[in-house]
């Protein structure tokens, strides 16, 4: 009967249960077990043979298929390469900070770590369990030869005969891997001591760094103060000719100098890329050359400061970096010997850039890391320049908690606002998501306020089968809270100056009202400078699309009348007072000033960095360079204002309002600052003065208990 049964058939087994004897059933089970073992044996044999076989060469395309080709994303800008060639014990938590920073700003990235030492499962499996694509691939000279990771006979022969005992072998191997990986596949190469501070731009780039060595740099870019191109963070499309030339001409036994540290790294990339740029290489037309502060804001000599220097305004320093810079290099070969002091810049980064995956507890966060939560700033300043995106310093992301570390945790997400619209890149999938998918959604959403919206609340709801998270942040629309105020002077070129000023404001802060006071009444000039001027009945001036207003102030009047008129005409809670030669540069921090004065209700006047020495702003005597120049300041308050009621700000005396305030209180500021209209309109600039009116204004502001602050790094 057994011979007639089809082994493995469910039908045969059920038949045997009913009809076979116990002896027959034992025979069938033994045979089935043996067949299962045979199947498992051949399965493992297949895996072993395929993993040990040499890579497959595609003869049609003259390329090699490696074991990780299937990991390469279709868009090379989503591909990141890095390398680690020392022992796994040296892969400290600050390297995991690099990985966290990358995935926070690029949750869709695929990261390939080429390393002969790292254990892929121990380090990176927790990331993959949460949906992040990161893999460690074993690499060696033999494997690169096997993979055909060379571009010609010279580089192939170099790999075969490379002296692995040379002084800089591992450093030079890193440089070779940078070039060959980008040449074959394209993507972004990043050293493991570079933190990503905001999403990298979606184009090819490489950045300048500074040589702060006492020795002259003969190979640095000509006519610069020691600038060179650093290959520590760069992005290229595949098959760029310049990368091929770097590999073939540098890694050649005829020219290779194993004792020269920089010869195959920065020197080779600088000389070849600059040469190709100067020759108008068509492949480099879209290559962006970043200034040093964009990728490498600190030199290696300042590394100790970012690990040990504790200062009140470190959070402002970080805010400035996350607005102006794409990355920060902490020079691991130097800083690995430094501890991280609580309150320093790196400590702030450790606290802010943490996915909660595998990094150990740092400093004194207490129990915060054990609970999943949404990380974001409490306040978002909406400007057209940001396009409603939550990127860089404004990034929103889900930090996983240890209580829900299992890879099977799935999230549902919904986002709501009251006075605007949330725009998703894809609304098809908002449920049953892993951490990486949630953060990809948060990375891609944008907010669009209604035309009349001045303030809104963004609510994020995240749920699992066991967890419910609600997180909210306030959205403030810049153009509805700030008015630009400017007083022009009677100069021959004042109208071209006004045009530059208005253009710069409308470029960076469109839809924001601008009030201009002028003592020249030339309507025809207004019309030439500001197009489409229309009469404004309620302002007795002229406006451009009801955004830019020009007020006619009688001639021979000082600035005081103009300032008072402008402040009283302001309809927004805050104003930004500027002079007529002020222009907004590429990375303005005016919205950061709004964030600070909005958050700290006791601040009446605030400005960015105005002096290297803050003490200069804490002594009114600096107003008075000589007695003969200060006679008109003998009185403090004009008689008609002595009995005037002043607006007195109120706050809880038991709470130190400056406990978390990163700015410094001073006595006075130059004539560019942001002010709180409600508390300053009762002060006014005294029309008694034809000069020194600003000095008098700050003296009386101090007497009226108004507070003045300056903020470094802004």
667 in Cβ contact with 700 (< 8 Å): no
Residue 85, CA atoms < 13 Å, CB-side half-sphere: 17
The reply to whether 616 and 596 lie within a common domain is yes
Q: With beta carbons less than 8 A apart as the criterion, state whether 387 and 354 touch.
A: no
Single out the residue of 494, 540, 485 nearest to residue 514, CA to CA: 485
Q: Determine the pLDDT at residue 629.
A: 35
Residue 210 and residue 92 share a domain: yes
Q: Assign 580 a pLDDT band (cuts: 50, 70, 90).
A: confident
User: How big, in percent rounded to 5, are the helix, strand and coil portions of the chain?
Assistant: 40, 20, 45
Q: Are residues 41 and 178 in the same domain?
A: no
Same domain, 106 and 215: yes
Whether 596 and 602 have beta carbons less than 8 Å apart is answered as no
What does each C-alpha distance from 491 to 386, 520, 542, 547, 580 come to in angstroms? 36, 10, 20, 24, 10
Q: Are 241 and 83 in contact (CB under 8 A)?
A: no
Cβ atoms of 577 and 565 closer than 8 Å: no
* Tokens representing residue 144 in the block: 């690169």
d(CA 500, CA 506): 10
Q: How far apart are CA 4 and CA 24, in angstroms?
A: 12
3-state SS string for 652-697 = CCCCCCCCCCCCEEECCCCCCEEEEHHHHCCCCCCCCCCCCHHHHH
Per-residue model confidence (pLDDT) at position 637: 40
Q: Note whether residue 361 is domain-resident.
A: no
* Listed residue (590, 393, 390) closest to 508, CA to CA: 590
Identify whether the C-beta of residue 559 lies closer than 8 Å to the C-beta of residue 685: yes
Residue 31 structural domain: 2-52
Same-domain pairing of 105 and 47: no
Q: Which of 275, 295, 315 is the last residue of a domain?
A: 295
What is the domain-level CATH number for residue 651?
3.90.550.10
Assess whether 210 and 150 both reside in one domain.
yes
User: Per the domain annotation, does 605 fall within a domain?
Assistant: yes
| Residue 470 CA from chain centroid, whole number | 25
The overall average pLDDT reported for the chain is 82
Q: Same domain, yes or no, for 505 and 649? A: yes
Instruction: Evaluate whether residue 331 is within a structural domain.
Output: no
313 in a structural domain: no
Cβ–Cβ < 8 Å for 578, 498: no
With cut-offs at 50, 70 and 90, classify the pLDDT of residue 477. Answer: very high
- Does residue 144 share a domain with residue 29? no
What are the DSSP calls for 452-498, one per residue? Answer: T-SEEEEEEEEE-SS-EEEEEEEEEEGGGTEEEEEE----TTHHHHH
Looking at residue 394, the DSSP 8-state letter turns out to be G
**Backbone dihedral angles phi then psi of residue 439, each to the nearest 5 degrees:** -70, -30
More confident residue, 43 or 230: 230
The beta strands (E) that lie in 347-427 are given as 373-375, 379-382, 397-399, 412-416, 420-423
Torsion of CA 175, 178, 183, 184, to 10 degrees: 120
Residue 640 has pLDDT above 60, yes or no: no
Residue 643's pLDDT is what? 42
Block residue for tokens 């070039």: 179
200-209, 570-579, 686-695, range with the lowest pLDDT? 686-695
pLDDT in tens, 172-225: 999 999 999 999 999 999 999 999 999 999 999 999 999 876 667 889 999 888
pLDDT of residue 595: 97
- 642 pLDDT above the threshold of 50: no
* Same-domain pairing of 258 and 400: no
Would the pLDDT of 30 be above 90? Answer: no
Residue 21 and residue 148 in one domain? no
Contact 689, 638 (CB under 8 A): no
The reported pLDDT for the residue numbered 44 is: 47
CATH classification at residue 249: 3.90.550.20
Q: What is the pLDDT of residue 591?
A: 94
The answer to whether the CB of 673 falls within 8 A of the CB of 604 is no
Of the candidates 549, 593, 628, the residue with the CA atom closest to the CA atom of residue 714: 593
pLDDT tens column, 253-267? 999 999 999 899 999
- Which neighbouring-strand residues pair with 194? 329
Q: Count of domains in the chain?
A: 4
Percentage of residues of the chain with pLDDT beyond 70: 76
Provide the CB-side half-sphere exposure for 658 (13 A, CA): 13
C-alpha 694/C-alpha 696 separation (Å) is: 5
Q: What is the pLDDT of residue 613?
A: 55
Going by their DSSP bridges, the two strands 514-518 and 482-487 should be labelled as: parallel
DSSP 8-state secondary structure symbol assigned to residue 614: G
The model's confidence at residue 635, banded by pLDDT at 50, 70 and 90, is very low
Predicted confidence (pLDDT) at residue 367 exceeds the cutoff of 90: no
Cα separation of 478 and 386, whole Å? 11
Contact indicator for 436, 399 with CB cutoff of 8 Å:
no
Nearest Cα residue to 320 out of 646, 635, 587: 587
Mean pLDDT check: name the lowest of 41-55, 89-103, 653-667. 41-55
Q: How does 212-232 read in b/e, with b if 16+ C-beta sit within 10 Å?
A: eeeeebeebbeeeeebbbbbb
Q: Is 208 helix (H, G, I), strand (E, B) or coil?
A: strand
3-state class (DSSP) for residue 137: strand
Query: Would strands 574-579 and 673-676 be described as parallel, antiparallel, or unpaired?
Result: antiparallel
Question: Is residue 542 in a domain?
Answer: yes
**Cα torsion angle, 302, 305, 311, 313, sign:** positive
What's the pLDDT tens digit per position in 258-315? 999 989 999 999 999 999 999 999 999 999 999 999 999 999 889 899 999 998 889 9
21 and 108 housed in the same domain: no
Which CATH number is 405's domain given?
Answer: 2.60.40.10
The H-assigned helical ranges of 71-212 are 93-105, 120-129, 141-146, 153-161, 169-185
Task: Supply 195's token pair.
Answer: 């933190």
Tell me if residue 541 falls in helix, strand or coil. Answer: strand
Q: Is residue 353 part of a domain?
A: no
pLDDT tens-place string over residues 518-574: 765 545 445 444 443 333 334 444 444 568 888 777 666 667 888 888 999 999 999
> 520-551: string of b/e by CB count within 10 Å (b at 16+)?
beeeeebeebbeebeeeeeeebbbbeebbbbb
Backbone phi, psi, residue 305, to 5°? -65, -40
What phi and psi values does residue 527 have, to the nearest 5 degrees?
-70, -30
Half-sphere exposure of residue 359, counting CA atoms within 13 Å on the CB side? 24
Answer with the residue of higher pLDDT: 321 or 360. Answer: 321
* Domain endpoint, select from 28, 52, 76: 52
Q: Exposure of 320 by Cβ count < 10 A (0-12 exposed, 13-18 middle, 19+ buried)?
A: buried
CB 240 within 8 A of CB 283: yes
Clarify whether residues 146 and 124 are in a common domain.
yes
| Burial class of residue 171 in the structure, from the number of CB atoms within 10 Å of its CB (0-12 exposed, 13-18 middle, 19+ buried) | middle
Q: Which residues contact 366 (CB under 8 A, 6 or more apart)?
A: none
> At residue 577, what are phi and psi to the nearest 5 degrees?
-90, 125
pLDDT band at 609 (very low <50, low <70, confident <90, very high): confident
Residues 251 and 154: beta-carbon distance below 8 Å = yes
Q: Which residue has the higher pLDDT, 264 or 65?
A: 264
70 part of a folded domain:
yes
In a domain, 318, yes or no: no
Last residue of a domain, one of 461, 478, 495: 478
The answer to whether 58 and 91 have CB atoms below 8 angstroms apart is: no
Confidence of residue 4 (pLDDT cuts 50, 70, 90): very low
Region 681-706 average pLDDT: 83
pLDDT winner (highest mean) among 354-363, 375-384, 579-588? 375-384
């Amino acid at each position: 009967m057994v011979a007639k049964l089809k082994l493995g058939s469910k039908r045969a087994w059920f038949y045997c249960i009913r009809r076979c004897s116990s002896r027959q059933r034992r025979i069938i089970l033994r045979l089935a077990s043996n067949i299962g073992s045979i199947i498992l044996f051949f399965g493992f044999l297949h895996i072993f043979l395929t993993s040990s076989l040499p890579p497959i060469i595609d003869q049609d395309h003259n390329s090699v298929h490696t074991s990780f080709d299937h990991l390469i994303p279709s868009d090379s800008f989503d591909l990141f390469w890095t390398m680690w060639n020392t022992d796994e014990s040296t892969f400290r938590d600050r390297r995991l900070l690099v990985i966290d920073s990358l995935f926070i700003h690029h949750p869709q990235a695929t990261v390939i770590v080429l390393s002969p030492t790292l254990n892929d499962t121990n380090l990176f499996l927790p990331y993959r369990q949460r949906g992040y694509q990161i893999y460690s691939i074993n690499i060696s000279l033999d494997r690169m030869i096997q993979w055909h990771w060379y571009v010609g006979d010279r580089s192939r022969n170099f790999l075969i005969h490379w002296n692995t005992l040379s002084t800089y072998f591992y450093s030079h191997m890193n440089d070779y891997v940078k070039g060959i990986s980008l040449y074959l596949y394209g993507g972004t190469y990043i050293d493991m001591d570079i933190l990503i501070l905001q999403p990298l731009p979606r184009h090819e780039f490489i950045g300048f760094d500074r040589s702060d060595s006492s020795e002259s740099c003969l190979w640095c870019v000509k006519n610069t103060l020691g600038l060179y191109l650093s290959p520590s963070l760069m992005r290229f499309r595949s098959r760029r000719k310049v990368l091929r030339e770097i590999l073939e001409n540098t890694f050649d036994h005829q020219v290779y100098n194993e004792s020269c540290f920089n010869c195959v790294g920065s020197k080779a990339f600088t000389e070849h890329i600059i040469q190709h740029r100067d020759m108008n290489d068509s492949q480099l037309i879209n290559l962006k050359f970043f200034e040093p502060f964009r990728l490498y804001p600190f030199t290696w000599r300042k590394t100790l400061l970012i690990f040990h220097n504790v200062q009140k305004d470190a959070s402002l320093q970080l805010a400035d970096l996350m607005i102006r810079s794409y990355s920060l290099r902490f020079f691991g070969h130097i800083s690995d010997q430094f501890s991280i002091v609580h309150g320093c810049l790196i400590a702030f980064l450790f606290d802010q850039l943490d996915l909660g995956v595998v990094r150990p507890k740092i400093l004194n966060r207490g129990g915060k890391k054990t609970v999943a939560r949404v990380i974001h700033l409490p306040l978002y300043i909406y400007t057209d320049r940001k396009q409603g995106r939550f990127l860089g310093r404004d990034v929103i992301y889900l930090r996983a908690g240890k209580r829900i570390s299992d890879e099977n945790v799935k999230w549902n997400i919904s986002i709501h606002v009251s006075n605007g619209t949330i725009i998703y890149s894809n609304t098809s999938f908002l449920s049953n998501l892993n951490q990486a998918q949630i953060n990809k959604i948060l990375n891609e959403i944008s907010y669009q306020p209604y035309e009349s919206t001045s303030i809104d609340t963004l609510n994020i709801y995240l749920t699992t089968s066991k967890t419910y998270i609600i997180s909210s942040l306030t959205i403030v629309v810049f153009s509805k809270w700030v008015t630009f105020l400017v007083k022009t002077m009677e100069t021959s070129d004042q109208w071209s100056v006004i045009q530059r000023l208005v253009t710069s404001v409308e470029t960076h802060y469109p839809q924001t009202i601008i009030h201009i006071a002028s003592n020249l009444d030339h309507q025809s000039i207004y019309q030439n400078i500001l197009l489409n001027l229309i009469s404004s009945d309620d302002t007795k001036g002229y406006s451009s699309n009801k955004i830019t207003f020009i007020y006619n102030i009688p001639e021979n009047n000082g600035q005081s009348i103009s300032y008072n008129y402008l402040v009283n005409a302001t309809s927004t809670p805050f104003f930004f007072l500027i002079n007529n030669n002020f222009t907004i540069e590429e990375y303005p921090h005016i919205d950061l000033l709004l964030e600070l004065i909005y958050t700290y209700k006791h601040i009446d006047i605030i400005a960015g960095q105005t002096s290297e020495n803050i003490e200069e702003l804490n002594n009114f005597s600096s107003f008075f360079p000589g007695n003969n120049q200060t006679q008109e300041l003998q009185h403090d308050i004009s008689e008609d204002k002595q009995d005037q009621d002043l607006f007195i700000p109120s706050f809880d005396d038991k709470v130190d309002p400056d406990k978390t305030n990163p700015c410094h209180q001073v006595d006075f500021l130059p004539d560019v600052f942001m002010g709180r209209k409600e508390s300053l309109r009762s002060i006014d600039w005294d029309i008694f003065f034809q000069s020194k009116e600003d000095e008098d204004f700050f003296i009386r502001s101090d007497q009226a208990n108004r507070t003045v602050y300056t903020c470094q790094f802004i």
